[in-house]
């Protein structure tokens, strides 16, 4: 029998997810950043997502638990941002070994509460249980006006692709970005409520891994990306040395937690103008265009040469 | 520094929970079976709960994962039952070691989906992540008509205490009850919607552990329990040998997943009559009465002697 590490998290989920039967009150089930759940007689949809943060996988054992807590909360809220949702409530499942110092667990909870207050959400429940290792599972619940959640599966041929911020920064600042990033909540909500985004997701595993997911979810679309247009963080540029290597970092590094979105091309000028007024300090950058399913997915260099997408990003298990 | 095993799960949460600030849209935060969340402009409240099931803690490693999955789902739904809620959606966070056979993980998901269908809920999201051990975290979401959720903190002096079913059965049927029990969803909803229950919770850690929690949550109330009235499962009676030891099993054994509820005394005759019509095959048994906070918590024997509550039930960590 094949071990999980051979099949991979994503390979296994590809088989499992289609077997999950959905009630009629599920507007969007598994496979997106959040589930979109239709509340009876309500002007709002409920958004729900979970995110685990596990010692030795998502952070090193000597990382201060205040940072781990901040990361766990912000990761889950980034999924709400990617749908254009407003976060409201968290539940936190914590497991820890019996010999864990109680002070350490208290510090973790203090960090969770500090992050919750920072983002104006409440920890309304959860569980603390004995296990072999420290795990923090965050459940994030939010709302959006009914029918306005932006999915990752609704990009269309011809759409332009854009990203917020600058990519490849997750290892910047002494590796602190992954613990201190701001989920793009205001931006996601703004993009959804102004009807700009035809599809959206957050970049958690790297553009090179996440962009194909958006294209796959939208019906196996093709795509043309201009690598020289990808906005690289100063860190990626400094560490990369050459522009090509900076772009490789921006393509491969996970945990940027910026937004990737598609828009109709005719809306670009208005979007860029409105965006600059709303978020003057955060870049919003077109990086390419969605193509029909019959077309390939290529990187188009300024000299006119094109090449297929390099593999990128992070898949649990298969990179063990 | 004290390890978690010294402080105990409950001891630690007693310190942490009061520090968690609650938004105005939280009707009930941590400390009950579910959080009760107020949706804007909705005739329904949202109920949310999480429940972890961990290898070596909640089940033995050789337990078939189909049973583990059934248990994980039913445990979470029992929390919704205890508030009088209608379950709608599940999210499932699974962690597994990389060398776990992929077939085993698939079997787990098949079991989760089978249980979800059985209880008419949908698995709408979740995550699969690499870790050191197999853990299944279930998030259960449901609804109830606004303001009708039955809390554990609202019992009043004079209320009668009742339990559904028969207690002490968790190790019955070759230890299968804990995997095959039916969460009392229909009963919980019926009790809530007919306004019978002034307070309610499910019995997950044993009457001896859970009853004090209801009394504590309701303002530190006293209580008088008639041990000979506690309905013992045939299993507890058979295994106990003597009536006293059967009652001890019913008092101490966890994972019954029956409901414990309080009602106003004058409503007892009507409740028992209506209940027998609605649920003719499930006993509903008065076992005692709530007393003012100044009164002790005692077991009153038929011969008129009384004694304080024996310690009972299960606290993670402190029983490691």
Chain A residues whose beta carbon lies within 8 Å of the beta carbon of residue B25: 88
- 3-state helix, strand and coil shares in percent for chain B, rounded to the nearest 5: 35, 30, 40
Give A87's Cβ-side CA count (13 Å radius).
34
A57 contact residues in B (CB cutoff 8 A): 129-131
Q: At A308, give phi and psi (nearest 5°).
A: -65, 160
Beta bridge partners of B104: none
- Contact between B176 and B282 under an 8 Å Cβ cutoff? The reply is no
* Residue A136 to residue A72: CA distance in whole angstroms: 7
- Residue A93's pLDDT is 97
Could you tell me the pTM of the whole model? Answer: 0.94
Contact A144, A105 (CB under 8 A): no
* pLDDT of B61: 86
Going by C-alpha positions, the residue among A256, A145, A257, A272 that lies closest to residue A196 is: A272
For chain A, give percent helix, strand, coil, nearest 5. 35, 30, 40
Q: What is the pLDDT of residue B260?
A: 98
CB pair distance less than 8 Å for A43 and B41: yes
Residues from chain B contacting residue A122 (CB–CB below 8 Å): 20-23, 26, 29
Contact B30 A5 (CB under 8 A): no
Q: What residues form DSSP beta bridges with A260?
A: A163, A201
Quick one: tokens of A77? 């809220």
* Range in A6-10, A172-176, A280-284 the model is least confident about: A172-176
Contacts of residue A23 in chain B, CB cutoff 8 Å?
Answer: 88-89, 120-122
What 8-state DSSP symbol labels residue A153?
A: S
Q: Do A137 and B137 touch (CB under 8 A)?
A: yes
Length, in residues, of chain A: 320
Measured N-to-C along each axis, helices A9-16 and B102-118 cross at an angle, to the nearest 10 degrees, of 30
With an 8 Å Cβ cutoff, are A20 and B116 in contact? yes
- pLDDT tens digits, A55-78: 988 888 889 999 999 999 999 999
Mutate to test the interface with B, among A1, A4, A26 (most CBs of B within 10 A): A4
| DSSP characters over B209-250 | HHHHHHHHHTTS-EEEE-GGGSPBPHHHHHHH-SHHHHHHHH
* CB B299, CB B309: distance < 8 Å: yes
Interface of B with A in 223-252 (CB under 8 A): none
User: Which residues in chain B (94-113) have CB-CB distances under 8 A to chain A?
Assistant: 95-106, 109-110, 113
Percent of chain A with pLDDT over 90: 78
**Strand bridging mode A199-202 / A259-263:** antiparallel
Neighbours of A174 (CB within 10 A): 6
pLDDT band for position A30 (cuts 50, 70, 90)? very high
Interface of A with B in 162-221 (CB under 8 A): none
Per DSSP, helices labelled H in B29-86 are 65-81
* Model pLDDT for residues B78-116, shown as the tens digit of each residue: 999 999 999 999 999 999 999 999 999 999 999 999 999
B8 touches chain A (CB under 8 A): no
pLDDT of residue B278: 98
Check pLDDT > 80 for residue A250: yes
Cβ contact A20:A29 at 8 Å: yes
CB-based contact A236:A246 (threshold 8 Å): yes
What pLDDT sits at residue B313?
55
Torsion of CA B247, B68, A72, B314, to 10 degrees: 10
Q: Does A282 touch chain B (CB under 8 A)?
A: no
Interface pTM, i.e. ipTM = 0.94
Say what the pLDDT of residue A176 is: 82
Three-state DSSP class for residue B304: coil
What pLDDT score was predicted for residue A225?
97
Token readout for B234 is: 């045939």
CB contacts of B104 in chain A (<8 Å) are 1
Task: Name which of B3, B22, B37 is nearest A101 (Cβ-Cβ).
Answer: B3
In whole angstroms, give the CA distance from residue B234 to residue B228. Answer: 15
Distance CA A119, CA B94 (A): 26
Hey, are the CB atoms on B122 and A29 less than 8 Å from each other? yes
Per-residue pLDDT for A7 more than 80? yes
CA distance B186 to B191: 9
Instruction: Choose among A12, A131, A98: nearest CA to B59.
Output: A131
Angle between helices B102-118 and B65-81 (to 10 degrees): 40
pLDDT tens digits for range B121-170: 999 999 999 999 999 999 999 999 999 999 999 999 999 999 999 999 87
Per the CB < 8 Å rule, is A37 touching B91?
no
Q: Which residue has better confidence, B172 or A196?
A: A196
In three-state secondary structure terms, A183 is coil
Distance from CA of A176 to the nearest CA of B (A): 22
Going A192 to A194 to A197 to A202, the CA torsion angle's sign is: negative
Q: Return the ∠ at Cα B242 (arms to B236 and B245), rounded to 5°.
A: 55
What is the token pair recorded at B230? 């506690």
Cα distances from B197 to residues B71, B150, B251, in angstroms, run 26, 7, 22
Q: Classify residue A194 as exposed, middle or buried by CB count within 10 Å of its CB (0-12, 13-18, 19+).
A: middle
Phi, psi at residue A297, to the nearest 5°? -110, 110
Size of interface A-B (CB pairs under 8 A): 277
Give residue for tokens 């978690």: B4
Please list every residue in chain A whose beta carbon sits closer than 8 Å to the beta carbon of residue B117: 21
Chain A CB within 8 Å of residue B61 CB: no
Which residue among A4, A99, A116 places its CB closest to the CB of B5?
A99
The answer to whether the CB atoms of B139 and A110 lie below 8 A apart is no
Mean pLDDT score across all residues of chain B: 93
Chain B residues with CB inside 8 Å of A15's CB? 106
Q: Could you give the CA distance from residue B211 to residue B209 in angstroms, rounded to a whole number?
A: 6
Asked if B49 has any chain A CB less than 8 Å from its own CB, the reply is yes
Residue A72 and residue A144: Cα distance in Å, rounded? 22
Element (H, E) at B186: helix B185-193
Domains, chain B, in order of start with CATH, read 4-145 (3.30.1330.10), 160-308 (3.90.650.10)
Check CB contact under 8 Å for A39 and B37.
no
Check CB contact of B123 with chain A, cutoff 8 Å: yes
The reply to whether B311 touches chain A by the CB within 8 Å rule is: no
Nearest to B20 among A3, A9, A123 (CB): A123
Backbone phi and psi for residue A52, each to the nearest 5 degrees, phi listed first: -90, 145
Quick check: A34 and A51 in contact, CB under 8 A?
A: no
Query: CA B133 → CA A154, A275, B55, distances in Å?
Result: 36, 45, 7
Q: pLDDT tens-digit profile of A37-50?
A: 999 899 999 999 99
Measure the CA–CA gap between A301 and B4, rounded to whole angstroms: 56
- Euclidean distance between CA atoms B54 and B93, whole angstroms: 12
pLDDT at A214: 97
Inter-chain touch A130–B316, beta carbons under 8 Å: yes
Contacts of residue B260, Cβ cutoff 8 Å, sequence gap at least 6: B161, B162, B163, B200, B201, B202, B203, B207, B210, B211, B214
CB contact (8 A) between residue B3 and residue A113 = no
Residue A138 has pLDDT above 50, yes or no: yes
Question: B175, B163 in Cβ contact below 8 A?
Answer: no
Q: Is A44 on the interface with B (CB under 8 A)?
A: yes
Average pLDDT of the residues of chain A: 93
Any bridge partners for residue A54, and if so which? A135
A117 vs B contacts (CB less than 8 Å)? 21
Q: Does B83 touch chain A (CB under 8 A)?
A: no
Whether B103 sits inside 8 A of A2 (CB atoms) is yes
Give the nearest partner residue to A49 out of B9, B125, B137, using CB atoms: B125
Cβ distance A102 to B4 less than 8 Å, yes or no, reads yes
The pLDDT value given to residue B319 = 38
What pLDDT score does A182 carry? 95
Per CB-CB distance under 8 Å, the chain B contacts of A37 are: 88-89, 124, 141
CA separation for the pair A87, A94 (Å, rounded)? 20
| pLDDT value of residue A319 | 38
Q: In Å, how far from its chain's centre is CA B184?
A: 10
Q: Which of B221, B285, A283 is nearest to B211 (CA)?
A: B221
Task: Using a CB–CB cutoff of 8 Å, tell me whether B26 touches chain A.
Answer: yes
In tens digits, what is the pLDDT along chain B, a chain of 320 residues? Answer: 799 999 988 889 889 999 999 999 999 999 999 999 999 899 999 999 999 999 988 888 889 999 999 999 999 999 999 999 999 999 999 999 999 999 999 999 999 999 999 999 999 999 999 999 999 999 999 999 999 999 999 999 999 999 999 999 877 666 788 888 999 999 999 999 999 999 999 999 999 999 999 999 999 999 999 999 999 998 888 887 788 888 988 998 889 999 999 999 999 999 999 999 999 999 999 999 999 999 999 999 989 899 998 876 554 444 33
> For residues B285 and B163, is the Cβ–Cβ distance under 8 A?
yes
Q: What percentage of chain B carries pLDDT values higher than 90?
A: 78
Nearest to A91 by CA among A53, A129, A125: A125
**Measured between CA atoms, how close is B118 to chain A, in angstroms?**
11
Return d(Cα B84, Cα B82) in angstroms, integer.
6
């Amino acid at each position: 029998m094949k071990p999980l590490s051979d099949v991979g998290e994503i390979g296994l989920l590809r088989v499992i997810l289609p077997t999950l039967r959905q009630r009629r009150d599920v507007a969007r089930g598994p496979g997106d950043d959040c589930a979109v759940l239709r509340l009876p007689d309500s002007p709002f949809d409920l958004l729900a997502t979970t995110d685990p943060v596990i010692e030795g996988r998502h952070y090193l054992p000597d990382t201060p638990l205040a940072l781990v807590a901040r990361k766990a909360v912000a990761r889950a809220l980034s999924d709400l941002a990617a749908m254009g949702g407003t976060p409201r409530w968290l539940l936190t499942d914590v497991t820890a070994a019996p010999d864990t110092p109680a002070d350490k667990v208290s510090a973790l909870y203090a960090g969770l509460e500090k992050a919750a207050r920072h983002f104006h959400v409440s920890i309304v429940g959860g569980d603390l249980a004995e296990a072999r290792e420290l795990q923090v599972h965050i459940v994030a619940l939010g709302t959006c006006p009914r029918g306005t959640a932006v999915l990752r599966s609704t990009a269309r041929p011809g759409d332009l692709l854009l990203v917020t911020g600058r990519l490849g920064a997750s290892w910047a600042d002494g590796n602190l970005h992954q613990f201190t990033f701001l989920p793009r909540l205001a931006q996601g909500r703004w993009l959804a409520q102004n009807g700009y985004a035809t599809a959206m997701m957050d970049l958690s595993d790297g553009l090179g891994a996440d962009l194909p997911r958006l294209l796959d979810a939208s019906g196996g679309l093709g795509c043309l990306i201009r690598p020289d247009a990808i906005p690289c963080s100063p860190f990626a540029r400094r560490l990369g040395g050459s522009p090509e290597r900076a772009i490789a970092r921006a393509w491969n590094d996970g945990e940027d937690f910026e937004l990737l979105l598609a828009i109709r091309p005719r809306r670009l000028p208005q979007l860029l103008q409105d965006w600059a007024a709303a978020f003057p300090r955060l870049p919003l950058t077109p990086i390419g265009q969605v193509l029909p399913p019959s077309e390939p997915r290529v990187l188009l260099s300024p000299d006119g040469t094109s090449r297929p997408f390099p593999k990128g990003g992070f898949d649990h298990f298969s990179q063990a």
